[in-house]
Amino acid sequence: MQSNNSTEGDTFHIRKLEISDKEKGFIELLKQLTVCDSVTDEKFKERFEEITKYGDEHIICVIEDVKSGKIVATGSVFIEKKFVRNCGKAGHIEDVVVDSSTRGMQLGKKIVEYLANHAYSMGCYKVILDCTEGNRAFYEKCGFKKKEIQMVKYFV
């Protein structure tokens, strides 16, 4: 697993989420993706520890701008264990976002590749994700193809 990958002449470092990343702008970055209320340090620690217990079954990766110390990209993947496909596994990519100040630098592609490679290394027969029509071309460049439709039911 590539845990110490660097890009752009060591300006950006891709790795798994660390507890200290809350202080490096992780929550603010998620707010660029979707509704993300403020998270207290205590709640962040609780959720971080909960996710950590899943080990490699659920990972969140980040890209840190080494010069500024800020988290500029993130995404997650969790592994679903299934009965179909000979008790196969499927990876689900979620919450991919790149800071508006660093878009166009291939960081999103690096996040998606990292997550897809992780799913593959975990023995998944596929990795899937949902995206908006506006992001379709980006994910196609990452090797994904459109299949069927997405449905959602919110419990709010």
CATH superfamily entry for domain 12-142: Gcn5-related N-acetyltransferase (GNAT) (3.40.630.30)
Q: Can you tell me whether residue 104 is helix, strand or coil?
A: coil
102's tokens: 């660093």
Distance between alpha carbon 35 and the CA centroid of its chain, in Å?
16
Residue-level pLDDT at 3: 41
Task: With residue 14 as reference, give the H or E element that holds it.
Answer: strand 12-16
Angle at 75 between CA 70 and CA 79, to 5 degrees: 145
- Do residues 110 and 126 make contact, with C-beta atoms less than 8 angstroms apart? no
Domain residue ranges of the chain, discontinuous segments joined by +: 12-142
Residue-level pLDDT at 1: 37
- Do residues 130 and 154 make contact, with C-beta atoms less than 8 angstroms apart? no
Residue-level pLDDT at 9: 60
Residue-level pLDDT at 10: 76
The residues of the chain scoring below 50 in pLDDT are 1-4
Residues 6+ away with beta carbon under 8 Å from 40: none
